[in-house]
Amino acid sequence: MVSARDEILGRIRAVDRPAPSPVSRDYERTRHAGDPVELLAERITDYQATVYRTAARELPYRIAERLDGRGRIVVPPDVPREWCVPEVPWLADAPPLTVAELDSADGVLSGCAIAIAETGTIVLDAGRGQGRRALTLVPDHHLCIVHADQIVVSVPEAIERLDPTAPLTFISGPSATSDIELDRVEGVHGPRTLEVLLVT
Amino acid sequence: MGRNPVTWLGSPTFPDAARDALGDTQLRGNLRKATTTIRGKRESAVAELGDWEELRRAGESVKDDVLANLDTYLERLEAAVTDRGGVVHWARDAEEANRIVLDLVQAEDTDEVVKVKSMATAEIGLNEALADGGVNAIETDLAEVIVQLGDDRPSHILVPAIHRNRAEIKEIFAQMPEPPTSDDPHALAEAARKYLRRKFLSAKVAISGANFGVADTGSIVVVESEGNGRMCLTLPETLITVMGVEKVLPRWQDLEVFLQLLPRSSTAERMNPYTSTWSGVTPGDGPQKFHLVLLDNGRTSTLADEVGRQALRCIRCSACLNVCPVYERTGGQAYGSVYPGPIGAILAPQLAGDLHDEQAASLPYASSLCGACYEVCPVRINIPEVLTHLRAEVVEAKGKRTPEAMAMSAAAWVFGDRRRYEAAQKAGSLTRFLARDGTLSSLPWPGSKWTDTRDAPVVPKESFRAWWRRNRG
Amino acid sequence: MSGPRVALFPTCLTDTVYPETAKAVVRLLERLGCDVDFPLDQTCCGQMHFNTGYAEHARPMARAYADVFDSYDHVVAPSGSCAGMVRENHPNLCAASPAATRTYELSEFLVDVLGVVDVGAHFPHRVTYHPTCHSLRMLGVGDKPLRLLRAVSGLELVALPQAEQCCGFGGTFALKNAETSTAMLADKMRCVQDTGAQVVTAGDNSCLMQIGGGLSRMRAGVRTVHLAEILASTQEEPWVATP
């Protein structure tokens, strides 16, 4: 008996297929933005997320300001030591937290791989300071640190910089839905609050 | 091979279904509101990009490359996913795909799965097949929850419950253990969150579709809004993804085109809230078992149609539904398929593959050929061209003996010769005797289809050509 | 005459049912210095057949169209949908014919070929313009008809809400999906009436037949007048309503 695989490939090969045409790529690969940091902040804010700007040396102070009194905060095991300010009760993902533990936490702190200014998007690649995907998903509050040198302007620039084999999550604002009368409302299954600390 | 469930068994033909839908004023109000809102927003989202037309052309040409080299890219995708620890399955049709998925679920020793919204699994009727096998499939996308709890059918590709307004949704959600406190969209979203939270946290198996599958890297891409997708793609131990074969993309780089085209066309956002990509299995992160089911179900036969194959470029954005004047008035259920609207009118009959079926054969006629769909399509599918092409196939399937075919033959015979045409003009001007007060308000069938709601023009005594001959000849 | 030699393709519908439109095109083009001819062997472009799924019947019609019009410099049709049928679909139905590429919808011919926007017309009425789908999307005439209308003396142009929505005609669609077609028409008529216009105009008599048929049934008191008739109307020879 012919396998489904062979039959499907056979059906495709039996078709008198269209001549392959060259892929047209005359769209803009890079885009100019006067101030990419400002653009990113503006676009993230459009999604009802909150953006705070800070100088690098003030970062620990800002983290404490955002998270103090918020409860227990999940943190990937490899975040920079200075992020873990003493005011916050941290829940390090080492050993890995259970789903129930993540669900009972009050928030999560993470870094990111890159951010796309034009679309107000933060991309996580499970790399340094980000942890596995569940960490930034289950807790209801996500504080994300973005450094100015992680910002690209356009989507093509972002795709070029990302590692396709890593599990990637593109985040553009808090979870939302357009399912009720095709209008966007924030706050469904993912973190309902997204805060971004932009380090310049 | 069984009947293809892409069109719903027992659905009336489009004109009959449309007649019922047009009488539903609530439905028409809901649709008008939703489509008007999204149309305006899409226009501004698109206008922000100065290179939108170039992106459309790129989208079109990447998809054409996919269709031209589909076998190569599928084999490449299979190899990449397998290399990264995934298992690839192939399904010729709905029945085979459903069987594969059911077996995989049962192998995990569970009777409940969580699902990310997926057109492919809706097309093959997976939920019903799983139910028959004793597995409860829980939809987690808000609109799908509305459809599932309302025991309803989908009416839109992106927002299957677009035909429901907030008040109706509140009614439907009343059966939840913690029902919404009001019909405010935030309250409705909150109710859905509570309803599904425990399911997400405990599910062993998740089922998803795929927006794209990148051949080079084995990356599967799911584009969503609510985070239900991330929940399903991340928390369960086993993930099963059902993907139509045409969803493969050649290169990672191609995503830079589609991640711009899709969100702006579908929800009219610069970017949708969440996009997840993964390649095979990542140790310690997310599902440790990954199955990819590659689905044909009529796609290869659609590929064989030189004109019709462009429907396979579709990225399921729904922009064509939102601008369609027919869809706006009849709603999606009238199309009798999970694929409604202009794209449904060309995709559903092609996937179903049987134009002798009255219902499927009525779909290509569900359009005034106004062309609004083609104008907004992010991958430039010339929907009006495919519609007329499929109409020709319907005509061929029905044969030459239908009243319409005979009337068309007669008309062609008249137009084939000037003298016959002029004789018919003279005969036509006799209709003047039917007109009272200069208006013609009732004609026999099929002219009555016109005069039921509109007056017919009275044919003047003298045609233009008669005047020309008299004055200029 | 020294002006361009133009063949008129009024379309079968206008020839038979709306002769005043065709006469208006002749008056207008001659006023603008064209040498207008009406080749009597013409019949139909085949649009109805093609769009309904009878491309095989449309094929000889496309061939005949080429035979009739190939020897002319320009062919002008007061119909976006028929001009669109000829230009977009005839090349696929019969071997390359010069007539297909030289066929223009009236407003395109005036603005692009003759290079005029002010055609010296006078039409002292309040008018709203419906851009027909095929002129808008298939031919891409853009704002040419509106530019022509703005230059008409005495004419008060009022914008039509949701102008780009189809009127619901769609050829045999109006019969095959009569209820949906009527629903689309009802919305179009509401928009027309909201403008308070006395006249609704368009570049296609098939759409005007739909809109006019509905308005007449409603006794709405709004007339449909083809764009050509407005542009042909002058102080000396004003447009008169046909019964």
Q: Is the pLDDT of residue B338 over 90?
A: yes
Yes or no, beta carbons of C168 and B325 under 8 Å apart: yes
Yes or no, beta carbons of C50 and B388 under 8 Å apart: yes
Q: Is A32 on the interface with B (CB under 8 A)?
A: no
DSSP string over B352-379: HT-TTSHHHHHGGGS-----HHHHH-TT
Residue in C172, C164, C94 with CA at minimum distance from that of residue C134: C164
- For residue C42, the chain B residues in CB contact (below 8 A) are 418
Whether residues C93 and C139 share a domain: the answer is: no
pLDDT per position as a tens digit, B24-75: 998 899 899 989 989 999 999 999 999 999 999 999 999 999 999 999 999 9
Q: From the CB of residue A57, how many other CB atoms can be counted at a distance below 10 Å?
A: 9
Q: What kind of architecture, by CATH, is found in domain B14-300?
A: 3-Layer(aba) Sandwich (3.40)
Question: Under DSSP, is residue C68 helix (H, G, I), strand (E, B) or coil?
Answer: helix
Closest chain B residue by Cα to residue C219? B455
Residue A190 has its nearest CB partner, among B61, B143, B230, at B230
Q: What is the pLDDT of residue B438?
A: 67
Q: Is C69 on the interface with B (CB under 8 A)?
A: no
Q: What is the pLDDT of residue C2?
A: 65
Q: What is the average per-residue pLDDT within B338-346? A: 97
Closest chain B residue by Cα to residue C162? B36
Yes or no, beta carbons of A189 and B227 under 8 Å apart: yes
pLDDT per position as a tens digit, B118-129: 999 999 999 999
Query: Which residues face B278 on adjacent strands?
Result: B220
Q: Which of residues 357-376 of B touch C (CB under 8 A)?
A: 364-372, 374-375
Q: Is B15 on the interface with C (CB under 8 A)?
A: yes
Task: Give the torsion sign (CA, B236, B237, B238, B239).
Answer: positive
Q: Do chains C and B touch (3 or more CB pairs under 8 A)?
A: yes
Sheet holding A121-124, edge to edge: A151-152, A114-116, A121-124, A168-171, B274-279, B219-224, B212-214, B248-249
Q: What is the C-alpha to C-alpha distance for residues B383 and B371, in angstroms, rounded to an integer? A: 7
Chain C nearest CA to B372, separation (Å)? 7
C242 lies in some domain: no
CB–CB contacts below 8 A, B to C: 177
Sheet holding C156-158, edge to edge: C156-158, C126-129, C199-202, C223-226
Chain A nearest CA to B306, separation (Å)? 8
Yes or no, beta carbons of B300 and A18 under 8 Å apart: no
Chain B nearest CA to A160, separation (Å)? 7
Helices (H), B267-381: 299-303, 319-323, 325-330, 341-352, 358-362, 372-376
Residues 6+ apart with CB under 8 A from B377: B56, B319, B320, B383
Q: What is the pLDDT of residue C159?
A: 98
Q: Do chains B and A touch (3 or more CB pairs under 8 A)?
A: yes
Q: Is the pLDDT of residue B439 over 80?
A: no
Residues 6+ apart with CB under 8 A from B471: none
Whether residues C133 and C223 share a domain: the answer is: yes
Q: What is the C-alpha to C-alpha distance for residues B216 and B264, in angstroms, rounded to an integer? A: 26
Q: ipTM score of the complex?
A: 0.97
A199 phi and psi angles, rounded to 5 deg: -100, 115
Q: What is the pLDDT of residue B417?
A: 94
Q: Is C220 on the interface with B (CB under 8 A)?
A: no
Q: What is the pLDDT of residue B2?
A: 78
Phi-psi region of B232 (alpha: psi -120 to 50; beta: other; left: phi over 0): alpha
Would you list the domain boundaries of chain B? 14-300, 403-472
Contact A110, A135 (CB under 8 A): yes
**DSSP 8-state secondary structure symbol assigned to residue C79:** B
Q: What is the average per-residue pLDDT within A179-188? A: 83
Residue with tokens 């009614």: B171
Q: Is the pLDDT of residue C7 over 60?
A: yes
Contact A74, A105 (CB under 8 A): yes
Q: What is the average per-residue pLDDT within A57-83? A: 96
Residue with tokens 């990264």: B84
Helices (H), chain C: 12-17, 19-31, 47-52, 55-69, 80-84, 90-93, 98-101, 106-108, 133, 144-150, 173-176, 178-195, 205-218, 227-232
Chain C nearest CA to B456, separation (Å)? 6
Chain A nearest CA to B152, separation (Å)? 15
Q: What is the average per-residue pLDDT within B367-374? A: 98
- For residue A12, the chain B residues in CB contact (below 8 A) are 70-71, 74, 245, 300, 303
Higher pLDDT, C242 or A30: A30
Structure tokens at C68: 């009739």
Does the bond joining B446 to the residue before it have cis omega, within 30 degrees of 0? Answer: yes
Considering chain A, what percentage of its residues have pLDDT values greater than 90? 90
Q: What is the pLDDT of residue C243?
A: 62
Q: From the CB of residue B75, how many other CB atoms can be counted at a distance below 10 Å?
A: 15
Considering chain C, what percentage of its residues have pLDDT values greater than 90? 95
Q: What is the pLDDT of residue B437?
A: 67
pLDDT per position as a tens digit, C89-103: 999 998 878 999 999
Q: What is the pLDDT of residue B252?
A: 98
Contact B450, C175 (CB under 8 A): yes
Number of domains making up chain C: 2
Q: What is the C-alpha to C-alpha distance for residues B9 and B220, in angstroms, rounded to an integer? A: 32
Structure tokens at B60: 């079109």
Helix (H) or strand (E) holding A176: strand A176-180
Residue with tokens 């996308």: B141
DSSP string over A27-72: S-SS---S-HHHHHHHHHHHTT-EEEEE-GGGHHHHHHHHHTTS--
Contact B234, B201 (CB under 8 A): no
Residues 6+ apart with CB under 8 A from B342: B320, B321, B324, B326, B327, B367, B373, B383, B387
- For residue C92, the chain B residues in CB contact (below 8 A) are none
Q: How far is CA B363 from CA B320, B349, B397, B416, C176, in A?
A: 15, 7, 14, 30, 11
C243 lies in some domain: no
Q: How would residue A183 be classed by pLDDT, with cut points 50, 70 and 90?
A: confident
Burial (Cβ within 10 Å: 0-12, 13-18, ≥19) of residue C196: exposed
Q: Is the pLDDT of residue C1 over 60?
A: no
- For residue C68, the chain B residues in CB contact (below 8 A) are none
Best mutation target among B300, B310, B318, B328 (most A Cβ atoms within 10 Å) is: B300
Residues 6+ apart with CB under 8 A from B84: A165, B218, B279, B280, B281
pLDDT per position as a tens digit, B156-200: 999 999 999 999 999 999 999 999 999 999 999 999 999 999 899
Yes or no, beta carbons of C51 and B391 under 8 Å apart: yes
User: A85-120 in b/e burial notation, b at 16+ Cβ within 10 A?
Assistant: beebebbebeeebeeeebbebbbbbbbbbbbbbbbb
Residue B277 has its nearest CB partner, among A132, A168, A181, at A168
Task: Give the torsion sign (CA, C197, C198, C200, C201).
Answer: negative
Yes or no, beta carbons of B274 and A171 under 8 Å apart: yes
The CATH number for C28's domain is 3.40.50
Q: Which of residues 317-346 of B touch C (CB under 8 A)?
A: 325-326, 329-330
CA count, 13 A, side-chain hemisphere, B167: 4
Contact B186, A177 (CB under 8 A): no
Q: Is the pLDDT of residue B436 over 70?
A: no
Q: What is the pLDDT of residue B1?
A: 59
With residues binned 3-state (H G I as helix, E B as strand, rest as coil), the percentages for chain C, rounded to 5, are 50, 15, 35
Yes or no, beta carbons of C38 and B446 under 8 Å apart: no
pLDDT-wise least confident of B142-156, B209-223, B378-392, B421-435: B421-435
Yes or no, beta carbons of A26 and B58 under 8 Å apart: yes
Closest chain B residue by Cα to residue C135? B370
Q: What is the C-alpha to C-alpha distance for residues B405 and B411, in angstroms, rounded to an integer? A: 10
- For residue C214, the chain B residues in CB contact (below 8 A) are 453-454
Q: How far is CA B366 from CA A111, A188, B350, B378, in A?
A: 51, 36, 15, 21
- For residue A137, the chain B residues in CB contact (below 8 A) are 227, 230-231, 234-235
Q: What kind of architecture, by CATH, is found in domain A34-199?
A: 3-Layer(aba) Sandwich (3.40)
Chain C nearest CA to B311, separation (Å)? 18
Chain B nearest CA to A47, separation (Å)? 9
Whether residues C45 and C131 share a domain: the answer is: no
Q: Is B428 on the interface with C (CB under 8 A)?
A: yes
Closest chain C residue by Cα to residue B32? C187
Domain of C13? 5-113
pLDDT per position as a tens digit, C104-135: 999 999 999 999 999 999 999 999 999 999 99
Q: What is the pLDDT of residue B444?
A: 81
Residue in C48, C105, C208 with CA at minimum distance from that of residue B415: C48
Contact C167, C188 (CB under 8 A): yes
Query: Which residues face A170 on adjacent strands?
Result: A123, B275
Yes or no, beta carbons of B92 and A4 under 8 Å apart: yes
A76 phi and psi angles, rounded to 5 deg: -65, 150
